[in-house]
Amino acid sequence: MRTGDMGIIDKDGYLFIRGRSKCMILGPNGQNIYPEELESVINAVAYVVDSLVIEDNGGLTALIYPDYHQAELDGLSCDDLEKTLSGLLPDINKEIPGYAQIRKIEFMPEDFERTPKRSIKRYLYQRSGK
């Protein structure tokens, strides 16, 4: 298996695309971090509608839009839901490479702004500075 590029070729010769080059984040030691890979792990967590991983002062922050409505139907308050999801950060980090660890989680009160094709407008959520 070859890694570090835009895709991964597995032992059977199948190519799996890791992410888009324009979304790539350059890690502190020069590693290519594809936020889409990290977001797929986060989005698999219960009560997560969608997420966006951004570079934030030299680290990675996950912006999460939770399913507040479903949590309420299940008897969870907003605070309980956010505490539960924040508590899952160590489990999320176990599933991703060490150089791409998520430092913190922030919760979005409403869904992300999207393009007509329903992709998140990533540029709106970028932060400057390292």
Q: How many CB atoms lie within 10 A of CB 19?
A: 19
Quick: pLDDT tens for 5-47. 555 566 777 655 554 555 778 787 788 888 999 999 999 999 9
Structure tokens given for 13: 């010769």
Domains of the chain by residue range: 23-125
Smallest Cα–Cα separation from 85: which of 112, 49, 126? 49
> Whole-prediction pTM value?
0.80
The owner of tokens 């709106």 is 124
Helix, strand and coil in the chain, % to nearest 5: 30, 25, 40
Structure tokens given for 93: 């980090």
Quick: pLDDT tens for 54-92. 999 889 999 999 999 999 999 999 999 999 999 999 999
CB 60 within 8 A of CB 100: yes
CATH architecture classification, 23-125: 2-Layer Sandwich (3.30)
